[in-house]
Structure 1
Amino acid sequence: MEVPELPLRKIIHVDMDAFYASVAQLDDPSLVGKPIAVGGSGRRGVVSAASYEARKFGVRSAMAGALAAKLCPELIFVKTNFERYKEISDKVRKVFFEYTDLVEPLSLDEAYLDVTENKKGNPSASLIAQDIRAKIKKRTGLNASAGISINKFIAKVASDVNKPNGQKTVPPEEVLEFLEALDIKKFYGVGKVMKEKMYRHGIYTGLDLKGKSLEFLEEHFGKSGGYYYNIVRGIHTSQVKSERTRKSLAAERTFNENISSEIFMLEKLEHIADEVERRLKKSNVAGKTVTLKIKYSDFTLQTRSKTLALYIADKHLIMETVKELLFQEGMKNSVRLLGISMSNLNNDKKEVLKVSEEKKYDVQLKLEF
């Protein structure tokens, strides 16, 4: 099998197992082995995370709490504790930086690491992943899974193969075989809607996807066609970025009761603007584009934006534009969620990347992975 000649990188994707739920079980041992859901309680609650015991009943993140309770009558709801999650996440990231400075966090519970050249001088990315997972367990009491391969895409997919508390390595000589056998729904980035669209075109596996021409994929999947054409061939050139430029900053609130009056909406938006101002100042940025997000009681979503001539970060200036956007047109229904975001930020400097010298790989080489 022919693999395209690409820069050799050794990428690890580390993903904490059921992070929020596992933290709750760590802090309250009486919850160990029981089906729990983080968040989700209350008439409008939404599950933020579920333990593996709860997942056996079909409970998933982003599911309505009422539905989760129906699927699993024994389900225990626990409150979110972001300060605690952040505390443990910081410990995990300290472990990462003991091995490499090329760490790209995706969220509190997962990150990419480029260990092509690492602080331990260890040529085996698989052994490094083992060490990292062991240290995380020792220092936090939590389990992590990992995927190891030649690029971020494959490492991300691989990290899910042996969950929980496992790892999967896909070395260069196995890349194409791994991707060809992969169920299309396992491809990172292929959600429910895209999966159904793929199915309609007879694409059920990586091999099916690989059998489609670039022209076919672009015709039926638009700009994403080229992306799918490349990833099934093991081509994904995105580098691990140790510094990421923030593109936008936002805050939003979901209400227990629907709001039907603009006066009440303005009161809520004042509090949201306070939070946006706080986050802007904490990040030392300002923005030109103000966006108002409105989700109605029928779950339809609407956004209204305005780009200003100057950068702003002050709550009162933000609210001036928000009021203008709010009264731009009448409300079509009562409102269940409001949000404010700032984009077009004044931090558009080029991302700082620390990239090791590119090397080429050949599938005939038995590289230490």
Structure 2
Amino acid sequence: MLELFRVIANEWMKLLRRKRLWVAGILMLVTVALYGVTEYHSHQAALNNRPEKQLTIVEQNLSDIKAHPKSDPNYQQDVQSLQQQIATLKVEVAAEKPGSDWKTPLQQEKKADLAQMNQVPAGERASSPTWNYMQGQLMTINYQLQHNVRPLQPWQLSPYGEMMQYLAVAAMLFLPLVVAILVADMVAGEATEGTIKLLLVRPVSRAKILLGKWITSLFVSALATALTGAALWAVGVAILGNVGANQPIAVGSGVNMIHQVVAGPLVSGSTYNASTGMLVFQTYTHATVIPMWHYVLTGLALTVFAMLAVATVTFLCSTIFRSTMASTGVSLGLVIIGFVVAQMAIHVKWLVWLFFPVHLALFTNWAGQLSQEAQMNAPLGLGMLVLSVWGVLSLGVSLVYFSKRDILNA
């Protein structure tokens, strides 16, 4: 164990001296900066949609029309329309005040949802997109009422929700690129420089040498992922404010698929494949509701787990290829190809079972988003299983290949 610790310490010191660490750091900063710029513009647009802002604009429009009544051929109609808008906006402004009653409208919405759900016969509920959608809505409303969580206003942006939307993309592309840059030369770099021979003739088993490099790869990958997630959260809170931490989100939902011809608009959470005639909609039978802060923390932990799998696959490339350029090229190619395939061929069923890049944003499995996109049940357990299998196989092949490697030709 002491020898393994010394190998890890040695690998960490070598990693700190590599230029790749700085390249990865710059890429992380660019990722966070892009998020900050995007959220700033979104926040400014959201502020312009506040009822107070809209009320000021509409009142000014009404004032302008009344000042020049003869210039408007539809004067009476326009005045009535603007007055109705003003009345509606004043109600919305009053509803946003801290002391306003928000529970009564929510209870009324709950009553209306229950009434609509009861209209669906008991035997048809499992195959009813409307009933299942209302079930999800009802779970959220009940959570807000029971835990005294005031809903966000329609214009408000939560740094928690915004972060997870951005992290879903980052986990599929940006973070794997960072991991590939950090890990791709762990073994291949020493083979390229010729220092691998000096390392292998030391009185330390090859398995410990490789495990030390692998553990270092896992540590730096986990650290880079955690730091990126923390930076995204901090930037989001700085721009949007610390709002929405206790807002509810349903996790553990699945999908149901039925043959049905759909001509009208779809219920939210439903998709229709015209070529197969399959209607796919979310179900909440086994779902639970948790606060957003819990979802963010767990989602970041799941992303770290996914990046460990990416690091292990990249480590395999570094072990097999004796050129840093080849190892890096193949690793980056796998990341980019995986992202493209996962976006364009997500409906191919075997990809969900075998292709690990599909599951890199593991929290989308948990929230049911991947199941809806793939049009099949792809729960969190499936994603973790696929990533674990790829990780174990990659590490096993790396150990076998490295233990039989010819030192003279290394």
Instruction: Please give the TM-score of this superposition, normalised by the length of structure 2.
Output: 0.21
Structure with higher RCO (Cα < 8 A, 6+ apart) = 2
Higher helix share: 2
Structure of larger gyration radius? 2
Instruction: Please give the TM-score of this superposition, normalised by the length of structure 1.
Output: 0.23
Higher strand share: 1
